[in-house]
């Protein structure tokens, strides 16, 4: 299907995309996740044919896309600001792409009705797009992109302008539509929740390069780099020095690394310490343990406790945070036992 | 002429739960002076014209020939306005596209150049075209000298083409601004969406861009049409005696033939037409505000890259430079050069640079058309302009501050205050001379009519300059200042004034520039012994002889420079986001 190799693009003499390569398989939803300004929208516009790359190749089923203008690519595009034609009503908006294909009016009517059904907007045909709510407008935009049966659908932060509840509902709808229609899709967002709930595959874009490529679970479990771990807010990230006995000495305590790692003793190591799974030890128990193994236990003073539905986010005065089942008193000193599974090496 | 008011009425509803009547009185206070002024100097003269034009006795006296003259004039007025509008669109639309879509060196400068003519006095424009293409213009004199010709090879002044070209020169900026703005602020995603849905360039233009621009194109066309329809100076000075629009015919009938009933009838027709156009225009403008989405104008810009784009941009830039730069540059250049190839001049024929024309302005010759040195006209104009600034600010300030927080009463009054914009200048002038020619208001004999007429014309602009600034200060700002311990006086000093000061200066310069260049009304109400600059220039232009022509060039150059400075100041002071036109 879509294959992108070694794409380069600069913006105002600053390199924006530095050798992007990835592919989108049949029926696959790929989420490009990156901070704003990482070039993800530009990448999308290049795929759409609205901008040309400075170097690199775009292929569809082996055919080079470079000579194919945007209007012949058959790639649907959905924008954050919907980009509905204000001078056309809902029906005319959805029918736009079909009219460009010069389809007979009967077919157009049928396909518009179907597309509006898909997005739960049956009966909205005669409405003015300016009278619709944000969520409805985005549904019309989706129907407009779906109606011409594109080879590929592209989404540029489509839910960014909507409130949280609506966003969650639309993510569910979108996943259902993408899975039933089997249209491959590229979905650009800076919101990891959106990416993780929609994607078959997540690509992390950082400084013009794809730094991680995998299923949502893989990416979450193994973010790979310190930047990715930090961007995904996977936990506490800090550095320490590896001792010959396999324990990393850090300003916040000694942590034993899980079995396999590529580092030599004396190396500086980036560590990811997941906030979940830590256990609070009573004072006596902590004293007892200290004697046998000081590794994987931390002592800290509680700075802040925030209620988070099923747990408490506890921030210590040293900046580390953990999710605990019970809320300690702010100001209290607590001993934490860290399970080995909560510790990871980062590149 | 549409400025949106985004300030709602909550401020007003806070004021008066107690004593609704007292609120009413207080609310209507700021209106008293401006409304009294309009009543006396606008509505009364108009009513007078109406009475003269429609009086049965007067109508009976009008010969059938007069009615056929009215018909012919009306037809020609429509015809020239329609043709001028089409030509203006033909230049303005591609220019709007150029400015809204492409980024190139000197773009801001070129855009400013196209905007200058709109605010220049008609006499300056006429003088500019005359310096460029007229019988004594550098092009004709140069060609005559080069090929030893006896008559100017290019016949421009006195032709229909001169009228059309001058109208295009004047009004193209309207199309560039209105359509260009709409184009620049168009959401680029709309065109991109259309492309991704399979629309090629032509269909994107057809199905998306043009439909979205339609209201702004319509608004621009109407506005251009209105300006062309009421055009006076251009037709009188460049068209010559062969062409007569309603506006020119009113002037001729009133001043040359003293046929006041006919002039009144023509004025009445003119009024009804402009009123109808204004109503249509405001309807259209309501349409424009709906469809254009606020967008950063830069997101649509890109550099000229493809060969097709280069040809288009290059051709447009050259065309705009020729159309706008040549007449403007010809004027000062011609005012400083001797090019006389014709005979019968004092002394020997000289070529080259000279400041004689300027020096001559200070000299009072016996054979001069004035009994005073022509330079006095500058003094007169400055005096009139100062009076206009003072009077229009005094009247405009209370009106604008009341309009900035509109209540029900104010919304009714707002269009009334804007009415003088719709009435033609010549009609205003005619109204003045028929209404104030006997006691108790025998003002025709005094020079006071000129600044009064200028104030009437400047007042809508002054109000529209002040009002957005006054409305832009949210009450929250004043409340915040007050809650931080500022007394009402300090609130005014620290919050209101810094914002309003710019607008006040801008309004003052507006009034000043309008007064300096006003020609239509002035040509009717001016006292011959106190001529203004434009009147003096027009008289010099119509006199024979190289020295008279040179002096017209010199005075027009001075006027152009002063107005140019004024335009620059206004542009500098323009509030970001304040409307255009």
- Given an 8 Å threshold on Cβ–Cβ distance, is B212 in contact with A45? no
Is the model's pLDDT at B260 over the cut of 70?
A: yes
Size of interface A-B (CB pairs under 8 A): 71
Residue range B274-294: mean pLDDT, rounded: 68
B576 vs A: CB within 8 A: no
- Given an 8 Å threshold on Cβ–Cβ distance, is A100 in contact with B293? no
Sign of the CA dihedral with B418 first, then B423, B426, and B430 last: negative
Q: What residues of B are in contact with residue A11 (Cβ under 8 Å)? A: none
* Range of weakest confidence among A258-272, B109-123, B245-259, B523-537: A258-272
pLDDT at B116: 85
Residue range B289-300: mean pLDDT, rounded: 52
- Given an 8 Å threshold on Cβ–Cβ distance, is B198 in contact with A130? no
Sign of the CA dihedral with B203 first, then B205, B206, and B212 last: positive
Quote the CA–CA distance of B312 and B95 in Å, as a whole number: 10
10-residue mean pLDDT profile of chain A (347 residues): values are 91 87 93 88 90 91 90 89 89 92 93 92 91 91 92 90 85 91 92 91 92 92 87 87 82 76 79 86 68 70 89 89 88 86 82
Describe the strand order of the beta sheet including A63-64 as a list of residue ranges.
A14-24, A2-11, A55-60, A63-64
Does domain A235-345 match CATH 1.10.20.10?
A: no
- Given an 8 Å threshold on Cβ–Cβ distance, is B200 in contact with A86? no
B205 vs A: CB within 8 A: no
Q: What residues of A are in contact with residue B192 (Cβ under 8 Å)? A: 45, 48, 50, 70, 77, 79, 83
Number of helices (H), then strands (E), in chain B: 29, 4
Q: In this prediction, what percent of chain B has a pLDDT beyond 70?
A: 83
Quote the CA–CA distance of A245 and A135 in Å, as a whole number: 57
pLDDT at B411: 67
Task: Check: CB of residue A325 under 8 Å from CB of residue A311.
Answer: yes
The minimum CA-CA distance between A46 and chain B, rounded to whole Å, is 12
> What residue spans in chain A does CATH classification 3.40.50.300 cover?
2-226
Give the closest residue to A155 by CA, choosing from A176, A173, A174, A136.
A174
- Given an 8 Å threshold on Cβ–Cβ distance, is A50 in contact with B200? no
A122-152 exposure pattern, b = at least 16 Cβ within 10 A, e = fewer: eebbeeebeebeebbbbbbbbbbbbbbebeb
- Given an 8 Å threshold on Cβ–Cβ distance, is A74 in contact with B190? no
Calculate Rg over the CA atoms of chain A: 25
Is the model's pLDDT at B17 over the cut of 50?
A: no
Is the model's pLDDT at B383 over the cut of 50?
A: yes
pLDDT at B292: 44
Which residue of A lies nearest to B190 if distances are taken between CA atoms? A83
Task: Check: CB of residue A131 under 8 Å from CB of residue A104.
Answer: no
Which residue of A lies nearest to B292 if distances are taken between CA atoms? A86
Residue of A154 and B63 predicted with greater confidence = A154
> What token pair was written down for B392?
């229009």
Q: What residues of B are in contact with residue A130 (Cβ under 8 Å)? A: 290
Calculate Rg over the CA atoms of chain B: 25
For residue B13, what pLDDT band results from cuts at 50, 70 and 90?
A: very low
* Residues of B (278-297) whose Cβ lies below 8 Å from A: 290-291, 293
Q: Across chain B, what does the average pLDDT equal?
A: 80
A158 vs B: CB within 8 A: no
Is the model's pLDDT at B342 over the cut of 60?
A: no
- Given an 8 Å threshold on Cβ–Cβ distance, is B196 in contact with A79? no
* Range of weakest confidence among B173-177, B210-214, B312-316, B494-498: B494-498
The minimum CA-CA distance between B310 and chain A, rounded to whole Å, is 19
pLDDT at B257: 85
Q: What CATH class is the domain A2-226?
A: alpha beta
Is the model's pLDDT at B137 over the cut of 90?
A: no
Q: Say whether the peptide bond before residue B555 is cis (omega within 30 degrees of 0).
A: no
Q: Pick B192's closest partner by Cβ from A77, A101, A144.
A: A77
* Range of weakest confidence among B80-89, B315-324, B458-467: B458-467
pLDDT at B574: 61
pLDDT at A286: 64
Q: What are phi and psi of B526, to 5 degrees?
A: -70, 145
For residue B28, what pLDDT band results from cuts at 50, 70 and 90?
A: low
Q: What is the 3-state secondary structure (H, E, C) of B138-173?
A: HHHHHHHHHHCCCCCCCCCCCCHHHHHHHHHHHHHH
Q: ∠ CA(B268), CA(B272), CA(B277), 5° rounding? A: 145
pLDDT at B346: 45
Q: Pick B291's closest partner by Cβ from A72, A75, A87.
A: A87
| Count of positions (residues) in chain A | 347
Q: Pick A48's closest partner by Cβ from B196, B199, B200.
A: B196
Which residues make Cβ contacts (< 8 Å) with residue B389, sequence separation at least 6?
B508, B511, B512, B515
Quote the CA–CA distance of A38 and A208 in Å, as a whole number: 6
Q: What residues of B are in contact with residue A48 (Cβ under 8 Å)? A: 192, 195-196
Residue of B405 and A266 predicted with greater confidence = A266
Task: Check: CB of residue A343 under 8 Å from CB of residue A336.
Answer: no
pLDDT at B58: 65
Q: Pick A70's closest partner by Cβ from B196, B203, B291.
A: B196
Which residue of A lies nearest to B188 if distances are taken between CA atoms? A83
Strands A236-242 and A209-214, by their bridges, are unpaired
Residue of B9 and A69 predicted with greater confidence = A69
- Given an 8 Å threshold on Cβ–Cβ distance, is B192 in contact with A74? no
> What residue spans in chain A does CATH classification 2.40.50.140 cover?
235-345
Q: Pick B192's closest partner by Cβ from A50, A141, A145.
A: A50
Residue range B425-449: mean pLDDT, rounded: 80
The minimum CA-CA distance between B108 and chain A, rounded to whole Å, is 20
Which residue of A lies nearest to B303 if distances are taken between CA atoms? A12
- Given an 8 Å threshold on Cβ–Cβ distance, is A81 in contact with B198? no
Residue of B388 and B496 predicted with greater confidence = B388
* Range of weakest confidence among A317-321, A343-347, B295-299, B505-509: B295-299
A13 vs B: CB within 8 A: no
Which residue of A lies nearest to B290 if distances are taken between CA atoms? A86
- Given an 8 Å threshold on Cβ–Cβ distance, is A96 in contact with B212? no
Instruction: Give the alpha-carbon dihedral of B495, B498, B503, B505, to 10 degrees.
Output: 150
B462 vs A: CB within 8 A: no
- Given an 8 Å threshold on Cβ–Cβ distance, is A144 in contact with B187? no
* Range of weakest confidence among A199-203, B231-235, B299-303: B299-303
pLDDT at B577: 43
Quote the CA–CA distance of B137 and B126 in Å, as a whole number: 12
Quote the CA–CA distance of B86 and B236 in Å, as a whole number: 21
3-state class (DSSP) for residue B579: coil
Is the model's pLDDT at B439 over the cut of 80?
A: no
């Amino acid at each position: 299907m879509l294959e992108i190799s070694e794409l380069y693009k600069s913006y105002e003499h600053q390199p924006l995309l530095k050798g992007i390569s990835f592919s989108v398989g049949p029926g696959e939803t790929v989420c490009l996740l990156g901070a704003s300004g990482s070039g993800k929208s530009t990448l999308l516009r290049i795929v759409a044919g609205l901008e040309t790359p400075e170097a690199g190749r775009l292929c569809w089923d082996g055919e080079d896309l470079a000579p194919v203008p945007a209007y012949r690519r058959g790639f649907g595009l959905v924008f954050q600001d919907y980009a509905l034609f204000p001078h056309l009503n809902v029906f005319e908006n959805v029918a736009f792409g079909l009219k460009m294909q010069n389809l007979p009016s009967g077919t157009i009517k049928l396909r518009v009705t179907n597309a509006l059904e898909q997005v739960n907007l049956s009966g909205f045909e005669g409405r003015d797009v300016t009278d619709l709510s944000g969520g409805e407008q985005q549904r019309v935009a989706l129907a407009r992109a779906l109606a011409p049966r594109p080879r590929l659908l592209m989404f540029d932060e489509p839910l960014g302008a909507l409130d949280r509840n609506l966003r969650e509902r639309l993510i569910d709808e979108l996943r259902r539509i993408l899975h039933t229609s089997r249209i491959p899709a590229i979905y650009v967002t800076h919101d990891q929740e959106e990416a993780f709930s929609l994607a078959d595959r997540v690509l992390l874009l950082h400084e013009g390069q794809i730094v991680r490529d995998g299923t949502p679970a893989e990416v979450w479990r193994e973010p790979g780099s310190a930047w990715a771990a930090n961007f995904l807010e996977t936990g506490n990230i800090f550095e320490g020095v590896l001792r010959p006995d396999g324990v990393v000495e850090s300003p916040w305590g000694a942590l034993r690394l899980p079995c396999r790692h590529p580092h030599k003793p004396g190396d500086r190591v980036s560590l990811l310490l997941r906030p979940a799974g830590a256990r609070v030890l009573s004072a006596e128990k902590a004293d007892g343990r200290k004697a046998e193994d000081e590794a994987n236990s931390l002592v800290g003073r509680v700075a802040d406790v925030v209620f988070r539905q099923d747990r408490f986010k506890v921030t210590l005065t040293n900046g580390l945070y953990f999710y605990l089942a019970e809320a300690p008193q702010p100001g209290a000193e607590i001993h934490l036992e860290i399970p080995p599974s909560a510790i990871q090496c980062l590149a | 002429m549409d400025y949106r008011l985004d300030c709602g009425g909550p401020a007003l509803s806070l004021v008066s739960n107690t004593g609704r009547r007292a609120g009413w009185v207080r609310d209507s206070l700021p209106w008293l002076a401006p409304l009294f002024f309009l009543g006396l100097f606008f509505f009364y003269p108009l009513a007078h014209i109406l009475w003269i034009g429609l009086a049965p006795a007067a109508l009976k006296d009008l010969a059938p020939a007069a009615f056929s003259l009215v018909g012919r004039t009306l037809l020609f007025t429509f015809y020239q306005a329609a043709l001028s509008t089409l030509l203006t669109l033909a230049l303005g639309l591609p220019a709007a596209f150029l400015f809204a879509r492409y980024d190139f060196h000197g773009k801001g400068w070129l855009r400013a150049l196209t905007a200058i003519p709109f605010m220049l006095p008609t006499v300056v424009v006429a003088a500019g075209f005359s310096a460029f293409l007229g019988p004594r213009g550098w092009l004709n004199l140069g060609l005559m000298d080069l090929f030893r010709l006896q008559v100017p090879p290019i016949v421009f002044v006195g032709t229909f083409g001169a009228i059309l070209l001058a109208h295009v020169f004047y009004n193209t900026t309207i199309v560039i601004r209105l359509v260009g703005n709409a184009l620049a602020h168009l959401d680029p995603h709309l065109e991109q969406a259309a492309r991704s849905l399979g629309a090629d360039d032509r269909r994107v233009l057809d199905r998306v861009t043009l439909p979205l621009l339609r209201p702004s194109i319509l608004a621009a066309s109407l506005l251009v049409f209105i300006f062309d329809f009421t055009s006076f100076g251009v037709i009188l000075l460049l068209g010559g005696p062969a062409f007569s629009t309603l506006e020119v015919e009113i002037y001729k009938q009133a001043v040359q033939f003293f046929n006041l009933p006919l002039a009144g009838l023509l004025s009445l027709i003119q009024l009804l037409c402009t009123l109808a156009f204004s109503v249509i225009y405001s309807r259209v403008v309501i349409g424009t505000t709906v469809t254009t989405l606020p967008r950063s104008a830069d997101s649509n810009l890109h550099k000229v890259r493809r060969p097709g784009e280069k040809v288009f941009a290059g051709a447009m830039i050259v065309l705009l430079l020729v159309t706008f730069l040549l007449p403007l540059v010809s004027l000062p250049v011609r005012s400083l050069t001797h090019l006389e190839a014709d005979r019968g001049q004092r002394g020997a024929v000289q070529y080259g640079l000279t400041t004689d024309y300027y020096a001559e302005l200070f000299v009072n010759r016996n054979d001069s058309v004035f009994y005073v040195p022509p330079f006095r006209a500058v003094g007169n104009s400055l005096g009139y302009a100062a009076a206009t600034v003072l009077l229009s600010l005094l009247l405009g300030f209370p009106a604008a501050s009341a309009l900035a927080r509109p209540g029900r009463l104010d919304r009714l009054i707002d269009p009334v205050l804007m009415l003088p914009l719709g009435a033609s200048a010549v009609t205003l002038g005619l109204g003045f001379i028929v209404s104030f020619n006997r006691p108790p208001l025998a003002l025709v004999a005094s020079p006071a009519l000129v600044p009064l007429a200028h104030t009437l014309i400047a007042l809508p602009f002054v109000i529209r300059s002040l009002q957005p600034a006054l409305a832009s200060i949210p009450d929250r700002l004043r409340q915040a200042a007050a809650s931080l311990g500022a007394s009402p006086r300090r609130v005014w000093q620290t919050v209101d004034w810094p914002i309003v000061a710019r607008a006040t200066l801008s309004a003052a310069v507006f009034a000043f520039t309008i007064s300096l260049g006003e020609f239509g009304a002035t040509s009717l109400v001016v006292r011959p012994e106190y001529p203004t600059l434009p009147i003096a220039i027009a008289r010099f232009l119509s006199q024979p002889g190289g020295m008279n022509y040179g002096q017209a060039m010199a005075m027009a150059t001075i006027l152009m420079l002063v107005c140019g400075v004024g335009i620059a100041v206004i542009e500098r002071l323009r509030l970001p986001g304040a409307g255009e036109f």
